[in-house]
């Protein structure tokens, strides 16, 4: 979305009956809760103009709330920060928490992968190199968060970009083979007998918006 996208007007619903009450009405969550919910699932910085359009609130109001949120997290000493980076806003873990996170995702391998992570890892293993969008299409659900977990665990890594779409591609790592006790990817069991004959049609159907 470019900077030419118009801002959400600050007109009231009385002046313009076509403008809804936006987020924050009695029937929905408040502005702060709505921002937190969106940013929690974002896998890249989200521009203020996008947040304003989604929430149907004035851009300056959304930006002010974001700055208040960021300041409150710092004041409360939370384990994460809300930062404005690369033209948008996103949650990041605090720098002084990095050693704990590294211990959790590396030394703490006794923490088992969830079923969703195992399924996602299987898709990457058999479809690599593959983009996150394709993985999500195969599974039928958004896998961005799970993909980040697999990268942090050292089980997957970036493998260049798709020539047509520019999307980042992912593949399994040597550590993945080590954990499974495999010498190479050729040692993976044949998956074809367990797949439906129309698997490509299913993927294309799931990939449609």
pTM: 0.46
**Residue 23 pLDDT class (50, 70, 90 cuts):** low
When comparing pLDDT for 192 and 154, which is higher? 154
Query: Under a CB-based contact definition with an 8 Å cutoff, are residues 7 and 59 in contact?
Result: yes
Question: What is the predicted pLDDT for the residue at 193?
Answer: 54
Query: Does 21 score more than 50 pLDDT?
Result: no
Most confident of 52-61, 77-86, 112-121, 128-137: 52-61
Residues 6+ apart with CB under 8 A from 51: 35, 38, 62, 66, 89
Instruction: Give residue limits of the domains in the chain.
Output: 1-94, 112-207
Tell me the mean pLDDT in the region 46-71: 95
Average pLDDT, the chain: 79
Region 13-39 average pLDDT: 65
| 84-88, 154-158, 186-190, 197-201 — most confident range | 154-158
Average pLDDT estimate for 132-161 = 89
Q: What is the DSSP string of the chain?
A: --TTSPPPP---TTT-TTS---TTSTTS--HHHHHHHHHHH-SS-B-HHHHHHHHT--HHHHHHHHHHHHHHHHHHT-SEEEEEETTEEEEEE-GGGHHHHHIIIIITTTSPPPHHHHHHHHHHHHH-SEEHHHHHHHHTS--HHHHHHHHHTTSEEEEEE-TTT-PEEEEE-HHHHHHHT-SSGGGSPP-GGGS-TTHHHHHHHHH--
pLDDT of 52 strictly over 90? yes
Q: Indicate if the pLDDT at residue 163 is higher than 80.
A: yes
- pLDDT of 15 strictly over 50: no
Question: What is the CATH number that goes with domain 1-94?
Answer: 1.10.10.10
Calculate mean pLDDT across residues 4-29: 47
- Strand 168-172 and strand 130-131: the pairing is antiparallel
The CATH number, out of the four listed (3.40.640.10, 1.10.10.10, 3.40.50.740, 1.10.3720.10), of the domain defined by the range 112-207: 1.10.10.10
- Burial of residue 101 (number of CB atoms within 10 Å: 0-12, 13-18, 19+): middle
Which residues is 88 bridged to in the sheet?
Answer: 85
Q: What is the pLDDT of residue 17?
A: 35
What the block records as the tokens of 162 is 């798709």
């Amino acid at each position: 979305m470019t900077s030419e996208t118009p801002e959400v007007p600050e007109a009231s619903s009385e002046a313009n009956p076509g403008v809804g009450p936006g987020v924050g009405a009695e029937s929905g969550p408040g502005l702060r809760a709505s921002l937190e919910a969106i940013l929690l699932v974002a896998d890249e910085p989200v521009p203020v103009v996008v947040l304003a359009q989604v929430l149907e609130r004035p851009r300056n109001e959304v930006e002010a709330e974001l700055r208040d949120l960021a300041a409150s997290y710092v004041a409360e000493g939370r384990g994460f920060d809300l930062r404005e980076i690369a033209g948008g806003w996103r949650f990041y873990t605090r720098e002084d928490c990095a050693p704990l996170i590294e211990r959790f995702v590396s030394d703490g391998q006794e923490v088992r992968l969830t079923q969703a992570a195992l399924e996602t890892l299987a898709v990457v293993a058999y479809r690599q190199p593959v983009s996150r969008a394709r993985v999500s299409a195969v599974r039928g659900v958004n896998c961005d968060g799970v993909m980040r977990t697999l990268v942090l665990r050292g089980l997957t890594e970036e493998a260049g970009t798709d020539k047509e779409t520019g999307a980042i591609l992912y593949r399994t790592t040597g550590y993945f083979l080590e954990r499974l006790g495999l010498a190479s990817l050729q040692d993976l069991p044949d998956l074809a007998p367990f797949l439906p004959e129309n698997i490509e049609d299913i993927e294309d159907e799931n990939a449609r918006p």
